[in-house]
Chains A and B, each alone.
Chain A
C-alpha cells in the first residue's frame, strides 16, 4: 500500500463511454483546503472528472482516494461530497428553507438541529430574508448563494463546483469571487472548481489543472502555467490576448505573448499597423509582419513610430515543435 498525503487523490482515473475515452488516466492531488481549478474547452473531460469524484458516474479505471481511503466504489450519498451545479439545481417546488432542509431530512437529522444549522448558514450567507422565497423568486446571484449554502450545510469532505458562476453576469462574477474563496477555500476540504474561463480559474484557484481531449496537459499554479507552459496548447489557452506563434526554421515555432513585444524603431521584425483596439489604459495593436499577423499589447500612451519594428527579451521566448506542439528548449 502506498502512503498517501491527506486530501483528495485521483489515480489514473479514466472513463470510457460507448468506445469514446472521455477521461484518460488522470493523476491529480488536491490538498486539504486547496482549490484546484479544472480548466479546459468544452468536452475536455473536466465535468466528467467531477462526476467521477462525486460518484454520479462509474469510473472505467483508476481510483478516487480521500485521505487514503478508496471511494471509487462508494455510492454518491456515502462520499460526503457537496456539489454545486451550473444550474444550481435548486428544488423548484421548495422554498429556500425547504431546499436547505431536504438533505438534512433525508439524512435523518433531528428537527431542532436542522433548524439550528439552517439558521446559522442563512446568517453566514445573509440569506435570512429570503428564507420563504421559492427559487423562481430569486435573482441569479441569490440562487447561487442558496446553492452554496446547501452545499456547505452538507458538511462535506470534498467540495465540487461545476461552473458555478457561468450563469451570472460578468460584474457579479467578479464581485462574488472573493466571497466564494472565503467561504469554500482554506478550510479542511479539498475543492475542485470546474470552469472554462481562465480568468475565473486564475482568480479562484491555488492551482490549475488544464485538460484537453480527456488528458491532463499541465497542472500548476496559474503563474507556472503562464510563464512556463508545458506545450503549445497550454501556452495558447492561457493568457489573453492569445500568444503569437511565429513559424521558424527547423519546424519550430516561436511563441511570444502580445504583452512581451516591444514596439520601437529597432528590432528583428518589421511591422505594419492594421488596426487598433483601445482597452482603456492599454491598447491592442493588430500588426502585419514578415512572419505573419501579430498582436501586441502596449500602454495606451505609446506612440506609433513611422517605421515600426518589434523586439522582445530572450527570456520571454517560448519554443515549440511545430508538429507536436511540444515545448522545446530555447
Chain B
C-alpha cells in the first residue's frame, strides 16, 4: 500500500539505500562489462598479423596528411606494419589523451607526434627514449635554424621534426600594395581601411584562454623587445616595461576597435573563418590557413598575401615556433622498427609531399632550394624567412603552468577584468610562485631521488 510505504519513508533518512543500490549495481555492471570485454580485446590483439606493429598517435589533420606516405612505408617494409591513430584535432586535447595513456603505464602507441611546447614536460616525465643512438649530432645541421630548435634537451635529441611551422601574418592584397613593416603600420593601415569602410575590422588573432593565446603572446612580447622566459636565470620577466608595453598594445587593439572584442574568444579557426569571410585586413595564423583560404570558394580567394609577423619599429620580429615532430615512447617493444618509421616520415620525400599537397613547412634546408617546390608552394619563401628568426616558447618543464597562468591573466585583461600592467604583474608574481614551488622546497631538495 503506497501510504504505508510513504510513512515508512518519512521516518527513515530519505531514500539513501535506493540510489546507492542503483549506483553500486551500475558500477558492478560496468565492471562485469569490462571483464567480459577485456578477453575479447586480448583475442583481437593476439590475432594481429605477423609484421611488427608500430603505432603512432597524431592529431587528426596530420594523421590524414600522412596517410599516403604511411601506405607507401608499409608497402616498402613488409616486416613492419605502421598504423596511425587519429587523435583529437585540438592540440591540448591530444596532449591530455597522450598523457592519460602514458600515466597508465603501457601506452598503446610507439610514436607520438609532439608539439614543440610539450617536449620539455614529456622528457622530464621520462616518457621518451632519446634518439641519439640513431641520429648523429649532424642531422639537425641540415635543417633551417628554426626547425633545429625545440628538439634537443640537455645533450640528447628527443624529437625529429616533421614540420617547420611558425606564426605568419596574412594580409589582403586587394586592400593594400604591400604588407605592413611594423606594428604601427599594421594599426595605421587597419584604421585607415576601417575608416574608409573597406573592412569592418583590422586585425584578427587568437585571444581565447588557451594555448593559442600563448603563441600570440610569444610573438607580441618579442615584437616589443620583451622576453617571457630567461633560460639563463630560469625565471620569467613578464613585468618588464617592454612586456607591459606588449600587453598594452594587444589590449589597445580591442579597446580601439582594430580587433573585434570577440577576438577574446577566438581560436585559430574562429579567426580564420572571419578573415575568410572578408571581414578583416589582417590575420595571425599558421601556414595551414593559406590552403584553407585558397581551397574554399570564398570572397577573398586569390586576394591574400602571407608574410612574417611584424614587430614594433626598430625591434626584431619573430613568429612563434609551432613545429611538430616524432618522439619515441620509452618502453616501445620495437624501437628499431619505430625509428625506421620516424626516418621515413620525417625524411625529405615525405616532407616534400606534405609541403606540396598540404602546405606544411618543411624542416630540411635542401627542400627550400628545390625549384619545383618553390614553383608549386609559393609560401615556401615566407616560411623560410620566418624560420630564420623564430621565437620558441619557454623551454621548461613548467611551461604548461606558465602558459596557463599567462593566458588566464591576458584573457582577463582582454575581457576587461584587469589593466595591462596589473595583469602582467600578477602573471609575473604567479609565475615565480609556481617556479619556486616546482623547483621544490628545502625538504624536497634534501631528500630528492
Say if A and B assemble together. Answer: yes
Binding site for B on A (CB under 8 A): 87, 89, 92-93, 135-136
Q: Which residues of B lie under 8 Å from residue A92 when comparing CB positions?
A: 3, 6-7, 10
**B10 touching A136 by the CB < 8 A rule?**
yes
Q: Taking the nearest CB of chain B, how far is it from the CB of A166, in angstroms?
A: 12
Residues in chain A near residue B7, CB distance under 8 A: 92, 135-136
Residues from chain A with Cβ under 8 Å of B8 in the complex? 136
The interface bits of chain B over 39-67 (1 if a CB of A lies within 8 angstroms of the residue's CB, else 0) are 00000000000000000000000000000
Q: Offer 13 A-B interface pairs, CB within 8 angstroms, sorted by A.
A: A87-B1, A87-B3, A89-B3, A92-B3, A92-B6, A92-B7, A92-B10, A93-B10, A135-B7, A136-B7, A136-B8, A136-B10, A136-B11
Q: Which residues of B contact A (CB under 8 A)?
A: 1, 3, 6-8, 10-11
Report the bound CA distance from A89 to B7 in whole Å. 12
Chain B interface, DSSP helix/strand/loop, else mixed: helix
A133 smallest CB distance to B (angstroms) = 12
Chain B residue at smallest Cβ distance from A89: B3
Contacts of A87 in B (CB 8 A): 1, 3
Taking CB as reference atom, which chain A residue is nearest B11?
A136
Q: A135 vs B6: C-alpha distance in the bound complex, in angstroms?
A: 11
Query: A100 to chain B: closest CB distance in Å?
Result: 18
Separation in Å of the A28 CB from the closest CB of chain B? 30
For B6, the chain A residues whose CB sits under 8 A away are: 92
Nearest 7 CB-CB pairings of A with B = A136-B7, A92-B7, A87-B3, A92-B10, A92-B6, A136-B11, A135-B7
Q: With the chains together, A107 CA to B180 CA distance in Å?
A: 82
How close is B443's CB to chain A, nearest CB, in angstroms?
Answer: 57
B8 to A: closest C-beta gap in Å: 8
Query: For B3, what are the chain A residues with a Cβ–Cβ distance below 8 Å?
Result: 87, 89, 92
For A93, list chain B residues within 8 Å (CB).
10
- Given contact pairs A89-B3, A136-B11, enumerate 11 new A-B contacts (beta carbons under 8 Å): A87-B1, A87-B3, A92-B3, A92-B6, A92-B7, A92-B10, A93-B10, A135-B7, A136-B7, A136-B8, A136-B10
- CA of A92 to CA of B11, assembled, Å: 10
Which residues of B are found within 8 Å of A135, using beta-carbon distances?
7
Closest to A93 in B: B10
B124 to chain A, nearest CB (A): 61
- Which residues does chain A contribute within 8 Å of B11, judged by CB atoms? 136
Instruction: Report the Cα distance A93→B9, complex, angstroms.
Output: 11
> Which residues in B have their C-beta under 8 angstroms from that of A89?
3
The residue in chain A whose Cβ has the minimal distance to the Cβ of B8 is A136
Chain A residues within an 8 Å CB radius of B10: 92-93, 136
Closest A residue to B3 by CB, please name it.
A87
A93–B7 CA distance with the chains assembled, in angstroms: 8
A141 to chain B, nearest CB (A): 16
Contact partners of A136 in chain B: CB under 8 A = 7-8, 10-11
Across the interface, name the chain B residue whose C-beta is closest to A136: B7
Given the complex of chains A and B, what is the CA–CA distance between A309 and B202 in angstroms? Answer: 119
Expressed in whole angstroms, the Cα–Cα distance for A89 and B4 within the complex equals: 11
Distance in angstroms from A253 CB to nearest chain B CB is 41
Rounded to whole angstroms, the CA-CA distance of A89 and B1 in the bound complex is 12
Query: Whole-angstrom distance between the alpha carbons of A87 and B10 in the complex?
Result: 17
Give Cα distance in the complex from A136 to B9, angstroms. 11
Residue ID in chain B nearest A85 by CB atoms: B3
B14 to A: closest C-beta gap in Å = 13
Nearest opposing residue in chain B for A90, CB measure:
B3
Smallest distance from the beta carbon of B264 to chain A beta carbons, Å? 52
**Chain B, residue nearest A167 (CB):** B1
Task: Give the Cβ gap from B327 to chain A, nearest Cβ, in Å.
Answer: 66
Q: With the chains together, A135 CA to B3 CA distance in Å?
A: 11
> Please, how many angstroms separate the alpha-carbon atoms of A92 and B5 in the complex?
11
Minimal Cβ-Cβ distance residue in A for B1: A87
CA distance A92 to B10 in the complex (A): 8
Query: Considering the chains assembled together, what is the distance between the CA atoms of A202 and B281 in angstroms?
Result: 98
Q: Considering only CB atoms, which chain B residue lies closest to A92 in the complex?
A: B7
Tell me, in angstroms, the Cα distance from A304 to B334 when the chains sit together: 105
Q: Which residue of A lies closest to B9 (CB)?
A: A92
> Roughly how many angstroms separate A136 CA and B6 CA in the complex, as a whole number?
10
How long is the Cα–Cα vector from A135 to B10 in the complex, in angstroms? 11
Q: Which residue of B lies closest to A88 (CB)?
A: B3
CB proximity of A185 to chain B, nearest CB, Å: 27
A136 to B8: give the CA distance in the assembly, Å: 8
Q: In the complex, what's the smallest C-beta–C-beta distance from B10 to chain A, in angstroms? A: 6
| Residue from the set A93, A135, A136 with the largest chain B CB neighbour count within 10 Å | A136
A87 to B7, CA, bound (A): 13
- Which residue of A is nearest B6, CB measured? A92
Residue among B6, B7, B8, B11 having the largest count of chain A Cβ atoms under 10 Å: B7
Please report the C-alpha to C-alpha distance between residue A89 and residue B2 in the assembled complex, in whole angstroms. Answer: 11
B1, B3, B8, B10, most chain A CB atoms within 10 A:
B3
CA distance A189 to B7 in the complex (A): 33
